[in-house]
Amino acid sequence: MDPAVLRQKYAELFPESHEPICVAAPGRVNLLGEHTDYNDGFVFPMAIDPHILFVGGLNGTNKVRMFSLDFNEMSEFDLDRIDYSKDHGWSNYIRGVADQLIKAGYSLKGMDMVLQGDIPQGGGLSSSAALEVGAALLMSELNGLNADRVELVKLSQKAENEFVGVNCGIMDQFASMMGELDHALFLDCRTLEYELVRTGFEDMGYSVVVIHSGVKRGLVDSEYNIRRSQCEEAVQLLRRELPNIKALRDVGVEHLDLVNALPGDLAKRARHVVTENQRVLEGIKALEKGDVEFFGRLLNASHESLKSDYEVSCKELDILVAICQDTPGVVGSRMTGAGFGGSTVTIIKKGHVEQLRSRVMDEYPAKTGITPQFFVFTASAGARVLSE
């Protein structure tokens, strides 16, 4: 994607508007910490190279006009009345951000913008969060809001929860806004305290490979709500022995005997969350010591837990992970994202990436009839204004 192309389109569509600025917001991949965010737990995502670009400026009116190069569509709304659009679904993420900024007491002026993205769709790489975070940063810069970046993250999440209607946690928006080159983000989802952790993958000769299974995540919404309620039910039962806990985040691996005594599926769901939080903490220590091999083993354990205890994997994801784990040079592989489709993340020695690509492109379609998408990503900077 070329900012100059967006600037040219902006000049064609909005010749009367003010000189624009350019904002970029990246997607993200979650390395460890799956389904822990809504349990007040720990997550460890990293921002990735693909991103959404915005070119936008003030227009002297009370309207916001948006043109998507990806959809070749124009959509607009009035700042005095921000309605949900049934015709231009992509625009609702931007509408929702404007809505939340106004509700938070910020004053917005009319704006025009052109946007384009190269984040793979439907792979669980958070194109929606990038759209929200990029729009939030653009609006803040154009209107001189001087808004704190963490506040913009919170408002972006609220836009998706309350305007778009998706009950997501805060991890995706946080990673897109606060990411840093060559670092992953350790986030405490209860306190929103965060730490940038140098991954060292590049320096030590490893690559992060993300493979989109080609399976659309069809069951996520209904199953997601079931998992949330099961986790809440597990907390209620565990309070009989651990009266001070507020969420599964407060249950440690030293309490696994109590967890395992829970009835049926509740034991499995709680066991995943408790052990996954522990894996995040151990994974960060491993990277700080430069022990990528151990970090990889934690990815393998995470997938087994997501498959067997949380039961959010699917046949295709399991096939992909098995191919990856069986390939020389791979230190670890797992499904990433909400599950029931989407993508896998794999840590592999750089010299073996092409061997993995060849195996995946040969074996996975033979077993599933689906052609996967294969990506090699590096840890990217978070949302930023480009000075090109």
Indicate the DSSP class of residue 165.
-
Q: Residue 360 CA to chain centroid, in angstroms?
A: 24
Give the pLDDT confidence of 157-174 residue by residue, as tens digits: 999 888 988 777 788 899
Q: pTM for the complete prediction?
A: 0.89
Q: Is residue 169 part of a domain?
A: yes
Give the pLDDT confidence of 220-271 residue by residue, as tens digits: 566 778 888 999 999 999 999 999 999 999 999 999 999 999 999 999 999 9
The rounded distance, in Å, linking the Cα atoms of 249 and 201 is 28
Among residues 329, 305, 320, the alpha carbon closest in space to that of 366 is found at 320
What percent of the chain stands above pLDDT 70?
Answer: 97
Q: Which pLDDT belongs to residue 123?
A: 65
Is 388's pLDDT higher than 80?
no
Q: What is the CA radius of gyration of the chain?
A: 21
The rounded distance, in Å, linking the Cα atoms of 155 and 136 is 8
The rounded distance, in Å, linking the Cα atoms of 101 and 147 is 10
The rounded distance, in Å, linking the Cα atoms of 162 and 11 is 33
Q: Is residue 329 part of a domain?
A: no
The rounded distance, in Å, linking the Cα atoms of 223 and 119 is 25
- Candidate from 112-126, 264-278, 335-349 with smallest mean pLDDT: 112-126
- Please give the residue range of the domain that contains residue 158: 3-199+381-386
Angstrom CA distances, 64 to 23, 137, 152, 312, stand at 17, 15, 19, 39
- Cα pseudo-dihedral 68, 72, 77, 79, rounded to 10: 20
Count CB-CB contacts under 10 A for residue 94: 30
User: What is the CATH number for 43?
Assistant: 3.30.230.10
Give the pLDDT confidence of 49-81 residue by residue, as tens digits: 889 999 999 999 999 999 999 999 999 999 999
**Number of domains observed in the structure of the chain:** 1
Which is more confidently placed, 214 or 224? Answer: 214
Task: Please report which confidence band the pLDDT of residue 324 belongs to, taking 50, 70 and 90 as the band edges.
Answer: very high
Give the pLDDT confidence of 349-377 residue by residue, as tens digits: 999 999 999 999 999 999 999 999 999 99
Catalytic residue among 40, 99, 112, 172: 172
Among residues 262, 236, 255, 258, the alpha carbon closest in space to that of 247 is found at 236
The rounded distance, in Å, linking the Cα atoms of 342 and 337 is 7
Q: Is residue 269 part of a domain?
A: no
Q: Which pLDDT belongs to residue 168?
A: 73
- φ, ψ for residue 257, nearest 5 deg: -60, -40
For 87-107, what is the mean pLDDT?
A: 94
Measured CA angle at 374 (ends 365, 50), to 5 deg: 145
Q: Which pLDDT belongs to residue 216?
A: 79
Among residues 132, 126, 138, 148, the alpha carbon closest in space to that of 37 is found at 126
Q: Which pLDDT belongs to residue 17?
A: 83
Mean pLDDT of the chain: 92
> Is the distance from CB of 360 to CB of 322 less than 8 angstroms?
no
The rounded distance, in Å, linking the Cα atoms of 55 and 170 is 25
Q: Is residue 289 part of a domain?
A: no
Q: Is residue 118 part of a domain?
A: yes
- Amino acid 74 reads M
Q: Which two three-digit tokens encode residue 296? A: 């990889």
Task: Please report which confidence band the pLDDT of residue 113 belongs to, taking 50, 70 and 90 as the band edges.
Answer: very high
According to DSSP, the residues that pair with 187 across neighbouring strands are: 43, 194
Residue 265 appears among annotated catalytic residues: no
Is 8's pLDDT higher than 90?
yes
Q: Which two three-digit tokens encode residue 14? A: 């909005």
Which is more confidently placed, 275 or 121? Answer: 275
Name residues whose C-beta falls within 8 Å of residue 236's C-beta, 6 or more positions apart in sequence: none
The rounded distance, in Å, linking the Cα atoms of 233 and 220 is 20
Q: Is residue 299 part of a domain?
A: no
Q: How many residues does the chain have?
A: 388
Q: Which pLDDT belongs to residue 220?
A: 55
Q: Is residue 227 part of a domain?
A: no
Go through 275-284 and write b for each residue having 16 or more CB atoms within 10 A of its CB, e for each that does not. bbbbbbebbb
For 208-217, what is the mean pLDDT?
A: 89
